[in-house]
């Protein structure tokens, strides 16, 4: 592309397009939030986010591009669950519904464990080993769900719960 400078000579403006590689993460049962943020960026890079974010003009070519990018990065089992959808927006919503539901179940389990931890008390007939197994069992389940209970909190709970 060339422009003419003030002295009549041609000025060249060169737009270099290098080989760019965008790596997309695979969605898993535990990485939806990070995956969705990453995919939004990738879809925007490829000018395909407009078909998921309906606030902009819809373009069928972009929809197919977005669908192709999404299908590359979801496991076959999820593709089979989604079925033969007609738009990338439908794929996105199906993935979101599946993974947000998992997050809600996880949060419910954490609330239940928190309730158990709060109300846990050692019975007079219970051994210290038995009680400590219950206490650390709750702690272990909570850590598995992503919420680590501080050691100091466990020690305080243990001491306050003794008969």
111, part of any domain: no
Same-domain pairing of 94 and 29: yes
Same-domain pairing of 29 and 97: yes
| 21 band by pLDDT with thresholds 50, 70 and 90 | low
Distance between CA atoms of residues 73 and 27, nearest Å: 6
Name which of 5-14, 22-31, 33-42, 116-125 the model is least confident about: 5-14
Same-domain pairing of 31 and 97: yes
The structure's pTM equals 0.44
17, part of any domain: no
Number of structural domains found in the chain: 2
Over residues 107-143, the pLDDT tens digits come to 888 999 999 999 999 999 999 999 999 999 999 989 8
Same-domain pairing of 97 and 142: no
151, part of any domain: yes
pLDDT the model gives residue 2: 38
128, part of any domain: yes
Distance between CA atoms of residues 82 and 91, nearest Å: 7
Same-domain pairing of 72 and 36: yes
31, part of any domain: yes
Same-domain pairing of 96 and 140: no
Last residue of a domain, which of 102, 129, 151?
102
10, part of any domain: no
Distances (CA, A) of 131 to 20, 35, 43, 153: 58, 40, 52, 15
Phi, psi of 10 (to 5 degrees): -80, 130
Quick one: average pLDDT of 52-76? Answer: 73
| 94 band by pLDDT with thresholds 50, 70 and 90 | confident
Last residue of a domain, which of 60, 75, 102?
102
5, part of any domain: no
Q: What is the mean pLDDT of the chain?
A: 77
| 102 band by pLDDT with thresholds 50, 70 and 90 | confident
Same-domain pairing of 61 and 88: yes
Last residue of a domain, which of 68, 102, 136?
102
pLDDT the model gives residue 95: 84
Report the C-alpha dihedral over residues 85, 86, 87, 92, rounded to 10 degrees.
-10
131, part of any domain: yes
Distance between CA atoms of residues 138 and 148, nearest Å: 10
Over residues 144-156, the pLDDT tens digits come to 888 899 999 999 9
Domain around 147:
120-161
Residue 20's SS3 state is coil
Asked if the model's pLDDT at residue 22 lies above 70, the reply is no
Same-domain pairing of 50 and 96: yes
């Amino acid at each position: 592309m060339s422009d003419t400078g003030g002295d009549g000579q041609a000025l060249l403006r060169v737009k270099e397009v290098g080989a760019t590689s965008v790596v997309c993460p695979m969605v898993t049962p535990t990485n939806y939030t990070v995956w969705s943020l990453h995919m939004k960026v990738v879809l925007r890079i490829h000018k395909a986010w407009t078909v998921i974010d309906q606030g902009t003009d819809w373009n069928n070519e972009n929809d197919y591009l977005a669908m192709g990018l999404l299908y590359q990065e979801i496991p076959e089992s999820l593709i089979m669950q989604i079925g033969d959808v007609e738009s990338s927006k439908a794929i996105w919503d199906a993935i979101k519904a599946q993974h947000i539901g998992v997050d809600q179940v996880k949060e419910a389990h954490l609330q239940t464990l928190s309730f158990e931890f709060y109300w846990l008390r050692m019975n007079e007939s219970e051994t210290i080993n038995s009680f400590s197994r219950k206490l650390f069992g709750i702690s272990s389940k909570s850590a598995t769900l992503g919420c680590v209970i501080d050691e100091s909190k466990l020690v305080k709970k243990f001491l306050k719960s003794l008969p």
